[in-house]
Chain A
Amino acid sequence: MQARFSVDSGDFTKAGSASSAIKRMLKQLGVKPAVVKRVVVALFEAEVNVIAHSYGGFIQCDISPEKVNLLVQDTGPGIPDLDLAMTEGWSTATDAVREMGYGAGMGLPNMKKNADSLQISTAAGKHTEIRMSFSLKEGEDGVS
């Protein structure tokens, strides 16, 4: 099962619409509330990142009985220093973005905290690609 959502740069009014849609899908599939919550929190952060920092991009969601895979890809400008970006509280957000209540520097750390696995490939001047996965199997981390 695959679903794809485009995310426009700078449109904060739509922030969370992709994560909401994916939330509704997971609930319909009977995924445990605790897992749904982790997916929504991590994805929301990624979605806001695309809106706030990139030239726009898309979110692709693949669901199998075993796991939820999320691919978030933007069209640039890339993250120059990924280690720094993974630090809690570190942010390049502009004042305008911070005034809207975003840009606290918790985006990437929150993704890492909530996803069972997180892969980021990026470089200055390139696009950023984030892959997150969440296990749906009983007994593994995915159980509430």
Chain B
Amino acid sequence: MAFHRTLKVRENLCKSCTHCMKRCPTGAIRIDRGHAQVEEAKCIDCGQCMQACPHHAIAVEQNLFEELFYFEKRVAIIPAVFFAQFDDQYSESQICQALYDIGFTHVYPAELGIDITRLYCVKGADCKPIISNFCPSVVRLIQTRYPSLVPHIGLKTTPSHVTALFARLELEDKGVGIFYVTPCPGKIAEFHRLAEAGSAFNGVLNMDTVYNQVSTSLAKNKRKFAKEDGAMSFPVMTGSAATWALSNGELAGRKGRSLAIDEIHHVMEFLEFLEENEDESNIDFLELKACAEGCVGGILTARNRFLASERLRYWATSLPSELPEPLVQRIMKQKDAMMDKMTTPIHEVSAIALDDDIGVALYKMEKVRKITDALPGIDCGLCGSPTCSALAEDIAQGQASIRQCTVLRLKDPKEVNTLARIWGEKVTGEKGEGK
């Protein structure tokens, strides 16, 4: 299964400064030929690089907003986090009116999918501890780096996709364009992967883009949009579903022992531990989210994540604990058509082996070790690899040269050539030389 990478380096803006390379949790970035390069197999679309880049050289692909108007029914699947992007001067109702004003004809909260999954009593994985599959970057991290933990990943189809499937059925599919408004690049990649198996989405719009459009509409129509129009003009969700995307959000009301971890480096630290102590862990359920504070920390969000988290929690207190009966009936009406799509399998995809052949991998590992010993070990990153051991690995893989090590070159240029020769590289001036 091919991964779809959504993060793109804008080469004209990239200054090869190494910030992104140093931050990348999976070591997927190298600086080469004057700009950052992302290795597709290792990238998990967490967006840390975009956050770290001081030159705005990393962008997230998205559908053009105008594509919306190809469709007669223009459906927005909006995560609750979107409403939390605004401060208290705008009510949820006003934000919703602005969404209609910018061109949507239907709005569904993404988290309605959680209530739908509950109503259908969908059975997921039973390999404890169950790891939530809500965060696509975490799922991909486990697939590529912790393949032994794949059987623990929950199988329930993610809420936004459930909502999209429901909307498509309700609106009878004719002229329907369903767009997800995403807080992170991970979700975009997830939908591209879903597309192979039949996605309910027609496109993905970045939350910052929609935020700008909605903000413009709100500024123009502040007086026109009623602060409270009685009811929300879209199907409501329950309070516990609304906070699902926040850190600890999935734990509310859950039976058994559970644990929530946010921020990708923390998640990796824990997965490293879990991999070795799988059987001893007394945890029944694990919520792992790649962004700090959960989806309010997504790189495409606009507002301070702590304030956004607070607003979302506050809003949730005013939402019902159970869905209103007419909505429950609407949901149950689609149950038969939905049931076979309520789970999504997840496969192992290992991306860390040095080679497919263990004999060759052993040879390369030995080489990596010897090269690492020769390198200075200060992880300066000037060579274009994030650490000295990463450079050693790149050299062993034939993708880099020891001459890229600035420290060794400054210390003794001749010695570097000798080392290069030892590692089987061509000497300076010869054809086919590395860099």
Contact = CB atoms under 8 A, between A and B. Distances in A.
B263 interface: no
A100 interface: no
Contact of B352 (A28, A40, A44, A64): A28
Contacts of A36: 148
- A interface SS class: helix
A108 interface: no
B148 A30 contact: no
Chain B, interface size category, equals: 20 to 34
A142 B240 CA distance: 45
B366 A1 contact: yes
A136 B362 contact: no
Contacts of A16: 276
A105 B278 CA distance: 19
B358 A28 contact: no
A65 to B, nearest CB: 4
B359 interface: yes
Interface string A32-44: 0110110011001
A19 B353 contact: no
Interface residues of A, number: 22
A33 B361 contact: no
A29 B148 contact: no
A82 interface: no
Contact of B362 (A29, A37, A40, A44): A29
B353 A29 contact: yes
Interface in A54-78: 63-65
A136 B276 contact: no
8 nearest A-B residue pairs (beta carbon): A30-B353, A33-B148, A65-B359, A29-B361, A65-B358, A1-B362, A33-B147, A40-B276
Interface of A: 1, 16, 19-20, 23, 25, 27-31, 33-34, 36-37, 40-41, 44, 63-65, 136
22 contacts: A16-B276, A27-B350, A27-B353, A28-B365, A29-B354, A29-B358, A30-B350, A30-B353, A30-B354, A30-B356, A30-B358, A30-B361, A33-B147, A36-B148, A37-B148, A37-B278, A40-B275, A64-B362, A65-B357, A65-B359, A65-B362, A136-B358
Interface of B: 147-148, 272, 275-276, 278-279, 348, 350, 352-359, 361-362, 365-366
